[in-house]
Amino acid sequence: MIKEVDGVEIVSLVDNSIDFLSTIRRNDVENAVTWVKRCMGKDWFEKNFEYPIAEHGFSVIIKILCDNLEHNILFDTGISSHGVIYNAKRMGIDITRIDAIILSHGHYDHFGGLLNTVKAVGKKDLPVIVHDDMFKKRGTLEEDNTIRVYPDFPKEEDIRPAKFVSTIKPFSMFNQTILVTGEIPRKTKFEKGVIRQYFFEDSKWKPDPWIWDDRAVVINVKNKGLVIVSGCAHSGIINTIYYAQQLTGIEEVFAIIGGFHLSGKEYEEMIDHVIPEIRRLKPKLLVPSHCTGWRAALKFAYELPKVFVWNSVGNMYKI
């Protein structure tokens, strides 16, 4: 179901934090200043580079290298309408080279930039990989028992010339070089979904804690193992990893990158359950981002210092 690739480069386009000053003691990770100078040249850097910005949201561009070909996939599009475009331009990333967009789930901090991004890419029939549940009207139950309603997911006529491709089951792309997990089974006892999540159906709000549209992407890098990228991991980051291993038949996990959703009082109690599982998996690169939260990130840094990297908008991961 998944082909071994020669390498992958992942650039953080949208995330909650930004840091260009701290050192990164790894050869496979570079901040934006370093890799833009290397890739674009010093002259371009001095004339054109501007620092990207952070926001509460998530987006990465994934470049897959295989058999002398490359495929560029955008995974999520942040929360703001222009964040992806703005940050890409400032770092010299040509988003017209994007071959597909994959959305991790239907929350607005992951699809906020979709409309403007597909227009900027400008490709006819650009595939946007979705799940039918993303189109639900959603909201969060507040402490006063009211519902805070989320922004609506875009309609297909709004994203043209791109097109939606709806998947529930595992779905591979570009000659099986990248795998979209599809719906992720919930097996751990401590990962319990989003308790206050609701959706509107039949004129009333109904509980929707499991968020079945939550998916991750998986790449198998030669001589390394699995690279797993999650958006928010509402399925649970451990459930996500286990399912990636099950789908691919590959046990070795090299990198885990993305949101782990361990922030907030309902989720921080999971941290002490997740840490031992991650340690047991022995990843070589661990990049908790977006909704992971500072408490969990701090503990990852303390417990797994040799593999932990604090993500910044603009970071490039070369595997």
pLDDT in tens, 173-202: 999 999 999 999 999 999 999 999 999 999
Helices (H) and strands (E) in the chain, counts: 9, 19
pTM score: 0.98
Q: Summarize the confidence of residues 72-99 as an average pLDDT.
A: 98
Q: What is the pLDDT of residues 251-298, one digit of tens each?
A: 999 999 999 999 998 899 999 999 999 999 999 999 999 999 999 999
Q: What is the pLDDT of residues 21-32, one digit of tens each?
A: 999 999 999 999
What domains are defined for the chain?
Answer: 4-318 (3.60.15.10)
- Residue with tokens 């260009």, as numbered in its chain: 20
Q: Summarize the confidence of residues 217-225 as an average pLDDT.
A: 98
pLDDT at 4 over 90: yes
DSSP of 231-270 = SS-TT-HHHHHHHHHHHHT---EEEEEEE----STTTGGG
b (16+ CB within 10 A) / e for 76-106: bbbbbeebbbbbbbbbbbebeebbbbbbbbb
The predicted structure's pLDDT at residue 219: 98
The predicted structure's pLDDT at residue 10: 98
Q: What is the pLDDT of residues 91-114, one digit of tens each?
A: 999 999 999 999 999 999 999 999
- Which one has a higher pLDDT value, 195 or 228? 228
**For the chain, how big is the Rg over CA atoms in Å?**
19
- Which one has a higher pLDDT value, 1 or 133? 133
Q: Summarize the confidence of residues 15-41 as an average pLDDT.
A: 97
Q: Average pLDDT of the chain? A: 97
pLDDT at 50 over 90: yes
| Percent of residues, the chain, with pLDDT higher than 70 | 100
The predicted structure's pLDDT at residue 1: 74
Q: Summarize the confidence of residues 213-242 as an average pLDDT.
A: 98
Q: Summarize the confidence of residues 225-253 as an average pLDDT.
A: 98
The predicted structure's pLDDT at residue 254: 98
What is the Cα–Cα distance from 184 to 273, expressed in whole angstroms?
A: 19
Q: Which H or E run includes 60?
A: strand 59-66
The predicted structure's pLDDT at residue 58: 98
